[in-house]
Amino acid sequence: MAVPMKTTNGNRKLILDVDTGIDDALALAYLASFNNIEILGVIGTYGNVAADTAVYNTAYVLERLGFRNVPVLRGSTRPSWAASFIPDAGCAQFHGTDGLGGFGPAVGSPAVACVSDSGETDIWKSDSAPYVSDSAESDIQSTTNTVYASDSGESDIPGTLSTTYVSDSGESDTRVRRGLISVGGYDVHDPHANPAADSFSLSFTTCDGAAHSPALPEGVRFIVDMVRKYGSDVTVVATGPLTDVDAALTAAPEIASKLRLVMMGGTLTQEGNCWDTTAETNIIQDPEAADRVFHSEADTTMVGLDVTHQCLLGRAATAGWRGTELGDFLADMADFSIEANAKADARLFAKGMPLHDPLAAAVAIDPGLVGCFDLPMKVETQTGDFHGTRGRTIGDPAGLIDPSAPRVHVALTVDHDRFVADFAHRIAHMVAARA
């Protein structure tokens, strides 16, 4: 069981790794209600939306919340297994094509100012260029191409691509990525690949040679730097795919024993929320990365569907937020999700939307909200006979007979009534205080 985080100054230090859709935004709002939380930075990665959209949405939400000085950084733009990424129509169903239910920054609106860890201001737009670090080296050292996926699913992506990550020790980790477009975790040729509207064309990057090591995304470097600086005094809260966390552990293996991670994703005791009802969305987008994280020495707490499906937010709660500009904004997003979930599965969500990402954020603050079972875990990366189903999160039989194998704190029970009531109350109090 994970223990409450203690820091030298009394504040809880957090790094958030988000793919900002609606529940990510609500998690940010929930954290804004605490006066003893220090958000060191927020990383926008691909998942519910494209990475640049996640960065833009994150900056927009933080600005609405009054946190203009929190650094917003770009994370990975694609899974470790793919050459590029297209948002999935399933995510658009629950989050809208903009990720915020249609209530995000309007097209053509003024750019949102984001302050990086260097203290300099970067202006992010929906068509922003790759971030350039203080060393003047671009995070994306590559050739940019535009690929058009036809209705037949054909594309001009080459067969394989290699990416070499070099750690501080000088050791390299070369991973061969399939030359495929990831459509919400499925390759473009998979019958379950269902891209969101207007996402058949995209810009993506390809490595210009296996011997060339691309610079890590600024969000990945930020994780490495902050864990080195604060150790277990900082908690990484990942509410999207685990690509960034995996890349950080690959680049700096020595941080694994210091990394405290609370992740939203996976499921152990019930069906998933993807096409095959086995996998969970965040995991299916990069199963290889999740599997590597599970097998690392990181202190990992898995907050999956086992507990998030028990924490339902209804319209009675969101009605209590209304009456201010900020409160209406948060209520509008939540009501969009409440309606979308009810339409998708009234059997499960007639009472409201599941608070996936807010619960993960809450567990980072108060681990006592959940009861955990410590289990060696793995993620299936293939589908077929004697391979299981890709994206499934399950106990690792090899780890069960090895007492030294890493254990994951798998949340299986939750004090749902206490959490949902506290969540709704804190949001209501926070928006009233900011009126």
**Residue type for position 413:** T
Tally the C-alpha atoms within 13 A of residue 39's C-alpha that lie toward its C-beta.
Answer: 28
Residue 133 in tokens: 């670090």
Whole-number Å distance between alpha carbons of 279 and 301 = 18
Whole-number Å distance between alpha carbons of 333 and 328 = 9
Residue 78 in tokens: 């694609």
Whole-number Å distance between alpha carbons of 384 and 390 = 9
| ∠ Cα 250 252 257 (to 5°) | 100
| 174 close to 225: Cβ distance less than 8 angstroms | no
DSSP secondary structure letter of residue 80: T
The candidate with the shortest Cα–Cα distance to 124, out of 23, 236, 35, 218, is 218
Whole-number Å distance between alpha carbons of 336 and 133 = 37
- The total number of residues shown for the chain amounts to 435
Burial status of residue 262 (CB atoms within 10 A of its CB: 0-12, 13-18, 19 or more):
buried
The secondary element (H helix, E strand) that includes residue 294 is helix 287-294
Whole-number Å distance between alpha carbons of 217 and 139 = 5
The candidate with the shortest Cα–Cα distance to 406, out of 376, 380, 373, is 376
Active site residue 356: yes
User: Which residue out of 95, 295, 309, 356 is catalytically annotated?
Assistant: 356
| 227 close to 259: Cβ distance less than 8 angstroms | yes
| 294 close to 379: Cβ distance less than 8 angstroms | yes
Burial status of residue 180 (CB atoms within 10 A of its CB: 0-12, 13-18, 19 or more):
buried
Catalytic residues: 356
